[in-house]
Amino acid sequence: MKIGSLCTGYGGLDMAVEAFFNAETVWTCEFDKYASQVIEQRIKKINHGDLKKTDWTKVEPIDILTAGYPCQPFSHAGSRKGADDERHLWPYIKEIIRTLRPEFVILENVRGHFGLGFREVLADLASIRYDATWRLVRASDVGAPHRRERLFILAYANSIPHNDARRANTGLSSQASAKFDGANWEKHWRGIENVIDSSSQCITHDRTMQKLGQRFTSRRDMHLQKVPPSLDQGKLNAKFVEYMMGLPDGWVTDVGLSRAQQLKILGNGVVPQQAEYALELLWETYVNA
């Protein structure tokens, strides 16, 4: 399967999708020049740059589209201007989905998106004939030493039948997720706030570690043998943040960027292990729909 990546950053969401679907990223789309430097050196796939200016009728066809679109319009850490924020990219992403018609769309954003803009995303997906299931997952749910709760959405074209072979080959948790059927938008929106609240009840730490063992640690051990110091000359160590984000050693910190640039890219990124675990939970809802 082929992946197209919007708002790629350092590629954390795509790492998870590649691992879960045994798929390949064939192109990226990242406007930030420093994150683009990471893409050039690490991901080494074509970068379409500004998604607002790309002719999406001419890009390579894909099976899966990913987008960790900007969180600033929705984050409680900001002014929460929503659609009035100049960084609000969802309307453009909706049109890209409409144009490319991938089988699956995988989205990521902050928890604050639930209370601001999420209803519009679901309505827009319904308008272009996509159903969706969503889930709140914390980085700590896969053993990471920080919370970093995020919203993950798996959307799928509602004319696409489920793939029994893919279902049979995927080992999944029994934890349910919230589901949205685009064909019955008004019916499913009623009481959605209650569904959202229930979807945020993640499995306990004990159950997580029993199911996953030392997933977070073991995956990192392929790349990083020890925890970097949290401070470097009295300042937050970017390599420590890179470790916290579950990345291979040097993925962001060894591509020639300044410390400030590294921290900005890392702060906007996705923990791959967290995203992959979210996909497991979302996939179970999808195949059991």
- Any idea which residues carry the catalytic annotation? 71
E strand or H helix at 2: strand 2-6
Q: Token pair 């827009």 is at which residue?
A: 124
Distance, CA of 130 to CA of 114 (rounded, Å): 19
Q: Which residues contact 228 (CB under 8 A, 6 or more apart)?
A: 237, 239, 240, 242, 243
How far is Cα 229 from Cα 139, in angstroms, rounded to an integer? 20
Going by C-alpha positions, the residue among 154, 74, 67 that lies closest to residue 111 is 74
Tokens of 116: 């601001």
Q: Which of 273, 268, 230 is nearest to 248 (CA)?
A: 273
Please name which of 66, 121, 122, 65 lies closest in space to residue 90, comparing C-alpha atoms: 121
